[in-house]
Amino acid sequence: MNINRLFRRSRIRLAFWYVLVMGTILSLSGFVVYRSIVQSNWVALEREIESIAGTLHDSLEPMLPVTGDPAIVLQQIFPDLCLVGKACTVNPTLIQRHTIGISDRSIYYIRLFDHHGKLLTFSANQPPYLPNTLTSPDWQTINTSNGMRYRQFTTILHSAGGHNLEGHNHDSWGYLQIGRTLASLDAETRRIQWILAIGFPVALGLVVVSSWWLSGLAMQPIYQSYQQQQQFTANAAHELRSPLASLLATVEALLRVREPDPSHLQTMLPTIERQGRRLSHLIKDLLLLASLEQNETPVPFLPCCLNDLVVDLTEEFLELAVAADIQLTSKVPSVMIYVLGNESQLYRMVSNLIANAIQYTPAGGSVTVRLEPRDRKAVIAVKDTGIGIPTDQQGRIFDRFYRVDGDRSRKTGGTGLGLAIAHAIALKHQARIKIESQVEQGSLFTVELETVVS
C-alpha cells in the first residue's frame, strides 16, 4: 500500500473521530443549555404569575362580600372586569387599573368564580372560547385556535365572614384565576432555537476544519518518525552491505582457490578480521543506541567522579593521538566533581567525543579535554583543531549515520553512530550537548551535567 495513502487514511479517520466526539459534545451541550434556559424562563414566568396571584389574593379577601349580589360588589371592586351575561363596556381610570396590582393589561387576564365554579367576572382580553365553569383548580396551559398559548393559575378565595351569600358555611368563597400570554416566552424560545439551528452547523464546520488541522499536527510526528525509521533502515542496510560484500568477496576468493598460497592467506585473513570487527562494532553500536532510546532496563544512577573519568580517557586515547601525530591534553580542576549517572554510559559519551575529535583532526593538530564547574553544573568540553563542520550541517551531526565527509569517515573506520550515541546518553542524563564549529578552524563540543555534593 502507498505510504502517503496510508497516512492520509489515518488522518481522515482521526479527523472523523474528532468531529464525531466534538459534534456529540456540542449537541449535548447545546441541548442542555437550551433546556436550562427554557426551563429557567418557564419557572420565572410561573413565579411571576404566582406573585401577582398572591398579591391579588391578599388584597381581595378582606373586600369579598358576605351578603348581597356578588356581581354588583365585584363590579365595584374590579371596574375593569366584565360581568357574565352583560355587555362588556368598561373604561377604568388609571387609578382603578392599579387597584388590582396589574399594570400591563395586554398580557394578563383575570377571572373570578364563585364556590360552585361558576364564572362571575372576567377580563375583556381573556382568550376566546374559555369555559364559564371552573375546569382545573391548579396550573393549566391553554392553546387557542390562532396558535396563541396561555398559562393560567387558580387559587382559592375565602371571605372575611367565612360563609357564603345564602348563609351556609363553605370552605371557600370562590376562586381567583389569573393567566398570562406565553407569546414573549415562545418568541424567546424560537429565537434560541434559531440561534442553535444556525450556530450549530457553523460550530460543527469549525470543528471539521480544526479537526483536520489537529489530525495533521498529530500525524506529523508519526510521519516524521516513520521517515526517520525508513532513513535509518536504509542507512543501516548501506553500512552493513559494504563490509558484508567485502567479507563475502574475500571468502569466495579463498574458496575458488583449491590450494591457496599461505602468503595469500596472510593477506586475506586480516581483511576478513577487519570487516568482521567493523560489523561487530556496528551491531554493538546499534544495540546500544536502541537500548538507550527504549530504556528497557533502566539502571539506577549513582554518583560518578568526572575528574577520574576525564583523566582515564585522556590516558587511554594518548597512544592513538601520538600515532596520529596529535597533541592530546586534559585540564581537570583540583576540586572533585560528581554527577549522578551511569558511569559506563558517561564513559562512552566522552569517549565518543574524544575519538571523533582525533579522527577529524589532521596531523600536527591538537585536542583538549577540559572539565570545569559552572553554576552547579559540570561542563565537559572537547576542543579540536580539525576540519570543522559547516554551519548548515551542524544541526544534523547527531543524526544516525550522518557524516559531514562520508569518504573520510569510512577511511578512519567510523560507523557514523558515535555522536548519535553521545547525544542519546546526554538526553538520558538530562544533559545538554552543544557544538561550536568553523570550517578549517576546529570544533568545540560541550556537555553540561547537573552536579551533586560529593
> Please, which residues have CB within 8 angstroms of residue 332's CB and are 6 or more apart in sequence?
307, 310, 311, 371
Res. 445: pLDDT tops 80: yes
Average the pLDDT over each of 224-228, 233-237, 377-381 and give the range with the smallest value: 233-237
| pLDDT at position 37 | 92
pLDDT at 25: 92
Least Cα distance to 181 among 242, 229, 109 occurs for 109
| CATH architecture of residue range(s) 8-190 | 2-Layer Sandwich (3.30)
When mean pLDDT is compared across 13-17, 184-188, 363-367, 438-442, the lowest value belongs to 438-442
- Please state the pTM of the whole predicted model: 0.54
Please report, for residues 118, 195, 324, the alpha-carbon distance to residue 189 in angstroms, rounded to integers and kept in the order given.
Answer: 35, 10, 89
DSSP H stretches of helix in 306-454: 306-323, 343-359, 406-412, 418-428
pLDDT class of 194 with cuts at 50, 70, 90: very high
What does the pLDDT look like over 243-254, one tens digit per residue?
777 777 777 776
pLDDT value of residue 383: 92
Given CA atoms 232, 237, 239, 240 in this order, what sign does their dihedral have?
positive
pLDDT computed for residue 165 by the predictor:
44
CA atoms within 13 A on the CB side of 295: 10
What is the pLDDT at residue 44?
Answer: 93
CATH topology agreement for domains 8-190 and 299-452: no
94-106 pLDDT, tens per residue? 444 444 445 456 7
Phi, psi of 153 (to 5 degrees): -130, 140
Average pLDDT, the chain: 80
Q: Enumerate residues 6+ apart whose C-beta is below 8 A from 292.
A: 345, 421, 424, 425, 428
Is there a contact between 359 and 412 (Cβ–Cβ < 8 Å)?
A: yes
* Predicted local distance difference test score (pLDDT) of residue 38: 92
The reported pLDDT for the residue numbered 71 is 65
Q: According to the model, what pLDDT value does residue 291 have?
A: 72
Run of H or E including 83:
strand 81-83
Residues 212-217 have a mean pLDDT of 88
**What CATH fold (topology level) applies to the domain 299-452?**
Heat Shock Protein 90 (3.30.565)
Which residues make Cβ contacts (< 8 Å) with residue 89, sequence separation at least 6? none
pLDDT of residue 252: 74
423 neighbors 402 (Cβ within 8 angstroms): no
In this prediction, residue 454 has a pLDDT band, given cuts at 50, 70 and 90, of low
Q: What is the pLDDT of residue 167?
A: 46
Nearest 10 degrees: CA dihedral of 381, 383, 389, 395? 0
Residue 407, pLDDT above cutoff 50: no
pLDDT at 28 over 90: yes
What is the amino acid identity at position 92?
Answer: P
Question: For residues 273 and 265, what is the distance between their CA atoms, to the nearest angstrom?
Answer: 12
pLDDT category, 42, cuts 50, 70, 90? Answer: very high
Phi, psi of 111 (to 5 degrees): -140, 140
pLDDT in tens, 114-126: 888 888 888 888 8
* Domain residue limits, the chain: 8-190, 299-452
Length of the chain (residues): 454
β-partners of residue 366 are 327
347-401 pLDDT, tens digit each: 989 998 999 899 888 988 999 999 998 888 899 999 998 888 888 787 778 777 7
User: Looking at the predicted structure, is the pLDDT value of residue 274 above 60?
Assistant: yes
Q: Which of 174-188, 214-228, 396-410 has the highest mean pLDDT?
A: 174-188
Select the more confidently predicted residue: 393 or 404: 393
Instruction: Convert the pLDDT of each residue in 46-87 to its tens digit.
Output: 999 898 888 888 877 777 766 656 666 676 677 777 888 777
CA distance linking residue 306 with residue 413, whole number of Å: 28
For the cut 80, the answer to whether the pLDDT of residue 301 exceeds it is: yes
Residue-wise pLDDT for 159-186, tens only, equals: 765 544 444 445 678 888 899 999 889 9
